[in-house]
Amino acid sequence: MHTEALTATLILLLISVVAVLLFRRIALPAIIAYLGVGIIAGPFGLDLISDSENIQLIAEFGVVLLLFTLGLEFSLPGYSDSGEDTQQRTLEKTILREGEVLVLYGPPSEIERIDEHLTRGHR
């Protein structure tokens, strides 16, 4: 199981390196290359990776890399220079979204129960 996940990850990394090099030549961001590789290599493309557990593992790894990339590009001084109005709107939207999640899905304990139910159903 773990060797399949490692093999799938290595295949995706190799294809991603080539895709990023090509996308940089045509002045497109690397994130578009990564998304394209995921679509092409996944079960709806060439089906290079079809095991749902491997797909979930790689997807979680991809989210971590995406958040890391966003963290590298985020500038706290740049955000503070954006003005009080922008910061206030961001805070308001965050609070509204959190409230929306609570209203639609309930408190975190309920969300965890739903997640456990869905996870058990897919195994």
The DSSP code for 90 is H
Interval 28-49 mean pLDDT: 82
Please, is 76 exposed, middle or buried when counting C-beta atoms within 10 Å of its C-beta (0-12, 13-18, 19+)? exposed
Note whether 70 and 80 are same-domain residues: no
**Cα distances (Å, whole numbers) of residue 123 to 1, 52, 97:** 14, 9, 31
Residue 79: predicted pLDDT: 64
pLDDT for residue 95 is more than 80: yes
Band of the pLDDT at 80, cuts 50, 70, 90? low
Percent of the chain at pLDDT exceeding 70: 78
Residue 108: predicted pLDDT: 67
Residue 13: give the domain boundaries.
1-74
Note whether 47 and 84 are same-domain residues: no
Interval 25-45 mean pLDDT: 85
Q: Give the residue with greater pLDDT, 77 vs 44.
A: 44
Interval 61-80 mean pLDDT: 75
pLDDT for residue 123 is more than 60: no
- How many angstroms separate the CA atoms of 76 and 17, rounded? 30
Q: Provide the b/e sequence for 35-51 (b: ≥16 CB within 10 Å).
A: ebbbeebbeeeeeebee
Residue 22: predicted pLDDT: 93
Note whether 60 and 83 are same-domain residues: no
Note whether 56 and 90 are same-domain residues: no
